[in-house]
């Protein structure tokens, strides 16, 4: 039996590295008994990592920074980041109904550079304000997430005030698609596969990619507590070695089909 490591994750494509580390035996080869635990929200993972339920976690890159700054209203242990788990991968998706309105309002903005597509949204918002319609609602996955900053930047670049002209709330990634389909939100910024799922089912259209807004920016990291690192330096090093090998395996084009099958399992992403 290896060194036990419980790692919390949220079902997204970028949980691939820990999934591969366990499935392909890279963790076992480093004497790591890796248990992956699927969580619903980033707040739950942050809190469970901080209170010692997990030794490690698939984290938003902003969470350790926010924790260090004391943001979020919850006492959080000092978190450190031994490695990155992914860059990029987010997108902004709007409902098909809103997309049609944006297309009618400003076809040039929709068919031009994706990073400028919010210009069409600005015209729709102005129309709604003039007609007395309710303010539209959008969602991100966590307050201290690149998703939140990207959605706000995309809007602000077109003259939309994200604090006044729209409502922006927080929804767990795997709940985004249902929220859009049921009309609870008009759009969202989330990682995959939850944008593609909306497109596949005909309920949404992708109007901007993370790369259009903040190219190659940090997205997910491996988060661990400083006290656990101090007490278990060899285990941390072994875990990182296993995850690096998993990343190298996942990066091989010939392994993509097998990787997709792994991620589609219900215990992983399940989509």
Whether the Cβ atoms of residue 168 and residue 162 lie closer than 8 Å to each other: yes
pLDDT of residue 1: 63
> Has domain 3-88+218-264 been given CATH number 3.40.50.720?
no
The CA distance from 56 to 46, in Å, is 10
3-state secondary structure of 129: helix
- CATH classification code of 90-213: 3.40.190.10
Q: What is the pLDDT of residue 74?
A: 67
Where in the sequence of the chain do the CATH 3.40.190.10 domains occur? 3-88+218-264, 90-213
Cis peptide upstream of residue 112 (ω within 30 degrees of 0): no
> Phi, psi at residue 263, to the nearest 5°?
-65, -30
Degrees (nearest 5) of the Cα angle 23, 25, 27? 100
Q: At what angle do helices 256-264 and 16-23 cross, to 10 degrees?
A: 100
Asked if residue 21 lies in contact with residue 250, where contact means CB atoms within 8 angstroms, the answer is: no
Distance (Å, rounded) from C-alpha 239 to C-alpha 56?
9
215 φ, ψ (degrees, to nearest 5): -65, 135
**Separation between Cα atoms, residue 209 and residue 206, nearest integer Å:** 8
User: In the chain, which stretches have pLDDT less than 70?
Assistant: 1, 74-75
């Amino acid at each position: 039996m290896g060194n036990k490591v419980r790692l919390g994750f949220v079902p997204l494509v970028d949980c691939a590295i820990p999934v591969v580390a366990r499935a392909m035996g890279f963790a076992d080869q480093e004497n790591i008994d890796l248990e992956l635990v699927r969580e619903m929200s980033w707040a739950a993972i942050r809190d469970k990592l901080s209170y010692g339920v997990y030794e490690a976690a698939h984290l938003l890159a902003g969470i350790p920074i926010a924790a260090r700054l004391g943001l979020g209203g919850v006492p959080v242990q000092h978190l450190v980041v031994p490695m990155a788990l992914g860059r990029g991968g987010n997108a902004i998706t709007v409902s098909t109904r809103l997309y049609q309105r944006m297309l009618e309002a400003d076809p040039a903005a929709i068919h031009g550079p994706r990073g400028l597509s919010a210009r069409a949204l600005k015209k729709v918002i102005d129309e709604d304000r003039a007609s007395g319609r309710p303010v539209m609602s959008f969602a991100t996955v966590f307050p201290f997430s690149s998703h939140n900053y990207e959605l706000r930047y995309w809007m602000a670049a077109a003259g939309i005030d994200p604090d006044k002209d729209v409502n922006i709330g927080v929804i767990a990634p795997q709940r985004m698609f249902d929220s859009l389909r049921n009309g609870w939100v008009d759009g969202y910024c989330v990682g995959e596969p939850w944008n593609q799922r909306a497109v596949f089912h005909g309920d949404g259209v992708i109007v901007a990619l993370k790369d259009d807004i903040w190219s190659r920016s940090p997205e997910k990291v491996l988060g661990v507590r400083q006290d656990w690192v101090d007490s278990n330096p060899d285990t941390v090093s072994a875990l990182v070695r296993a995850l690096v090998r998993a990343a190298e395996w996942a990066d091989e084009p010939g392994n993509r089909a097998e990787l997709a099958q792994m991620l589609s399992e219900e215990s992983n992403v399940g989509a």
